Amino acid sequence: MKQPLNKQFRRMQKLAGILNEDWNNEDWLLTNDKIDYKGKIEDIVKMAKKYDLVDIKLNRIGKSPDYEESDIKRAEKANYNKFPIVAVDLGINGVGVLDGNHRVFQAREDGKTELKGYLIPLKDIKKYIKQ
């Protein structure tokens, strides 16, 4: 039986060694066309359940952050094959990652060109526009 999505992400958190973080209160932030969107990871993971799991081309996702050593070690533990990313389809602006930046980073390091993920249309995150 398939685990519920939020349990999958909690398991991923444990595997990544970040269990001490309060995942339910962790935020995501996205900027597109000078508009900031912000919300809780827990909320966006729940929203992602409404969408199909698809292949997301990594060349549509912007450059990964310049990670420090601790983030690189965390990324090395990120299991992008087992845990999908949650992203937003920004149309001509590509794809924005809401949850899974470490997985994207590691997949690129490993030479991957696409990842499984939940792709949310931009119109569906309008309620998260940061005031």
What pLDDT sits at residue 117? 95
Per-residue pLDDT tens over the stretch 72-127: 888 888 889 988 999 999 999 999 999 888 899 999 999 999 999 999 999 999 99
Is the overall model pTM greater than 0.75, yes or no? yes
CATH topology of domain 5-128: 3.90.1530
What pLDDT sits at residue 15? 45
Residue of 76, 79, 55 whose CA lies nearest to 67: 76
CB 90 within 8 A of CB 96: yes
State how far the alpha carbon of 27 is from the alpha carbons of 59, 70, 92, 111, 113, in Å.
Answer: 24, 19, 25, 28, 27
Q: Is the pLDDT of residue 61 over 90?
A: yes
Domain assignments of the chain as residue spans, ordered by start: 5-128
What pLDDT sits at residue 58? 96
* CA 122 – CA 116 distance, rounded (Å): 18
* CA 70 – CA 74 distance, rounded (Å): 6
